[in-house]
Structure 1
Amino acid sequence: MPKGPISNFIDHHYRHFNAAGLKDAAHGYAAHLDAGNKMLVTLAGAMSTAELGLSLAEMIRQDKVHAIVCTGANLEEDVFNLVAHEFYERIPNYRDLTPEDEVALLERHMNRVTDTCIPEHEAMRRLEKAVLEEWVAADKAGQSFFPHEFMYKLLKSGKLEEYYQIPVENSWLYAAMQKDLPIFVPGWEDSTMGNIFAAHVIEGDVKNVHTVRSGIEYMVELAQWYTEVTKDSSMGFFQIGGGIAGDFPICVVPMLHQDLQRDSVPLWGYFCQISDSTTSYGSYSGAVPNEKITWGKLGIDTPKYVIESDATIVAPLIFAYVLGW
C-alpha cells in the first residue's frame, strides 16, 4: 500500500522511546493484517467523546478492525456525539475550575469529561426516548438483545436521523452497524443508558430485567466467536486504555484453554496496549505484557507492544499508519 504524508512522517521522525514504540506497533498491526489475520480493538476511557470515530470508522470500513470490545460509555457516547455535537461545550481551562464552577455546570446539565461537556437534554435524554421504545417493544414481545444490538436497531430504524449533527461517516458505531461488526460490551450497567434502563425497570416500564442481555452472555458469545474465527486466522488484540474493556476479552483465551479444555484454540497473535497507567501496586492496566504469559493469554513469541502515552494522540496516528494515510 502506498504511504501518505502521516505514515511517511512517522517512519522518518519516530525513532526512539514512545515514538519508536508507536511506529513498531503500527508496523506490527499492518504486518498482522497483511498475513491474513484479524484484529480486535478495545475501547476504554472516553474515546468516543474524544471523537475517535474520525479514524476508527474508516478502519472498520476498510476491514482493519474485525470486532470491538467497549465500555457502555463508549457505546452510547458515540451516539451522543452523533445527535448532539453542536450542543457540546469545550472547556480548555478545565484544570482551573473551582467546585463552584463544577456546580454551575451541573445546574446547566452539562456533564464534564475532562475538557468536554456532554449536554444531558440534547444527548442523553434524546437517546433515552428513542431507545426506550426499543426496550419496551422487545420486553412486550418477550425478546432480549445485547446493548449494542439495541443501538444497531436504533441506527437502522432512522429514528434519530433528524437529530444527526455530524456526518455519519465520522461515527464508528454507524460504521460498525453497516458492517454488522461483532461488539461486546462488558459491564454495560455501569453506563448512563445502563442506569436509565435500571430506572425504567424499577418504574415498571420494562417488566423483565433480562430484556437487555448480560455480560456473562457476552462472554459466552465471545468464546464462541473467538473459537470459530481463529480456526483459520490469528486474532490480534489492540487495547486502548485499561479497565474492563481490556480485562474482559483477553481472558477468553485462558477460559477456553483451562476451563473448556479447548487446547487447539490459539493464543492472541498480536498485543498492543496504549496506556498511561504505571507498572506498580498490582495495577493490571499497567502490567507489562509478559505478565499475561503467566495467565495463559499471550505466548513467548506473541508480538507485544506497550505505548505509555495519551491514547487520543497515539491511536489516531496508528490507525492513520495502518490506513496508509
Structure 2
Amino acid sequence: MKEENGAIRTFMSQNYLHFNAATVVDAAQGYEQHLLEGGKMLISLAGAMSTAELGISLAEMIRNDKVDIISCTGANLEEDIMNLVAHSHYKRIPNYRDLTPQDEYDLLNNKYNRVTDTCIPEEEAFRRIQSHIEKIWKDAEAKGERYFPHQYMYQLLLSGVLEEHYEIDPKNSWMLAAAEKNLPIVVPGWEDSTMGNIFASYVIKGELQANTVKSGIEYMVWLADWYATHANGKGIGFFQIGGGIAGDFAMCVAPMLEQDLERDDLLKWRYYCQITDSTTSYGSYSGCIPNEKITWGKLDVDTPSYVIESDATIVAPLIFAWILKW
C-alpha cells in the first residue's frame, strides 16, 4: 500500500511554495478536492503529450478512476499506440535546435518525422498499425456499422493483434488503460492526424465511405448528452493541457447547452486548470485566462481556476503524481 504522501508529493509540499510552483500544488489540491467531493474530471490533451510519454502517469490516473473523460487531438489518440508498438525505433535528437534544413530533409528520407527532440519512425509506427486498422474500418463498413475514431482504436487494442509488437510495458499506455476501462473520449478534428489522413486516402480511392467514421458534430452531440447527465451535484472539472481544439471543443459544450438549448438546470465547469506557455495578449484561446471564459459562459464566477505558465511535459506528471500520492 502506498504511503499517504509519497516521495514526490512530500518534495512538492516542502519545496513548491511560491509563484508557478505554488500554483502547481494549489491546482493539484483543487483537483484532488473536486474528486473527493464527488465531482468528475475531464482532461484535455493538446500538443504531443503521448509522444512525450505522458502515459506513464496518465494510465495510472485512468486505472485509479482519477479521470472520467478525455478530449484529445487525433495525434495524441494514435501516438500513444505508436509508442506502444514501435518504442525501440524512436530516435531522440538532443541537439534538435542545431539541425539544418538538410538535416531535416535527411530525417524525412530516412522515414523519421520529428516532434521537437523525438523522431517518430514512420514505417515501424504508422505502418505497423495501418493494416490492422484498415481491416477494422472495412469490416465495420461491410456490416453497416459506424464508430467514433477512438472506438476503432479501442477495437484495435482489445483485439490483441498488436500484442506481439509491444515494446514498452503496456501499463504505461494510457490508450490501453482507457480501452480496458472503456473510458469516454472525444476527438475533435480527428482528420488532422496521420490515421485521419490515411482514412481520407481510402475515401479518395473509393475503398471506404467517409461516414464509416463518425464525425466531429456527432462527437459534440454525444458530449452534450454526457455533460448534461453529469453537470449536477459537484459537477465536472476541466484539466487542460495546452490549448487548441482539444480544449475549446470540449469546453464550449457548457455554453452551447445553456445558450443554444436553453438548459438553465446545468452547472458550468466546476474546476479549471490550464498548463500553458501561450501569451495572453495574442488573442489566442490557448492563452486566454480563466476570467475570459466566464464571459463566454464556460466557467462560473466562483469556479476554482488555476493557470500554470510552464512546460506541460514537466508539470502534468507532477500533478498526477500528487493526486496518485506518489
TM-score (norm 2): 0.98
Match of 1:204 among 198, 203, 206: 206
**After TM superposition, where is structure 1 displaced by more than 4 Å over at least 4 residues in a row?**
none
Residue 281 of structure 1: how far off its partner (Å): 2.5
Residue 142 of structure 1: how far off its partner (Å): 1.3
Write out aligned runs for 1:44-83 (5 A): 44-83=46-85
Check if 1:247 corresponds to 2:248. Answer: yes
1:102 & 1:318 partners in 2: Cα distance?
35
Q: For residue 294 of structure 1, what is the amino acid of its counterpart?
A: T
Deviation string, structure 1 residues 42-63 (Cα, Å, up to 9, x no partner):
0000000000000000000000
Q: For residue 41 of structure 1, what is the amino acid of its counterpart?
A: I
Partner residue, 1:85: 87
Q: Is the 8 A contact 2:34 2:234 kept in 1?
A: no
2:298 & 2:223 partners in 1: Cα distance?
15
1:306 & 1:101 partners in 2: Cα distance?
37
1:171 & 1:148 partners in 2: Cα distance?
14
Write out aligned runs for 1:1-325 (5 A): 2-206=4-208, 208-325=209-326
Residue 279 of structure 1: how far off its partner (Å): 0.5
1:44 & 1:173 partners in 2: Cα distance?
15
CA-based RMSD: 0.8
Aligned length: 324
Residue 283 of structure 1: how far off its partner (Å): 1.4
Gaps of 5+ in 1: none
Residue 27 of structure 1: how far off its partner (Å): 0.7
Residue 230 of structure 1: how far off its partner (Å): 2.3
Deviation string, structure 1 residues 55-93 (Cα, Å, up to 9, x no partner):
000000000000000000000000000000010000000
TM-score (norm 1): 0.99
Residue 4 of structure 1: how far off its partner (Å): 0.6
Identity %: 65
2:112 & 2:220 partners in 1: Cα distance?
34
1:225 & 1:151 partners in 2: Cα distance?
21
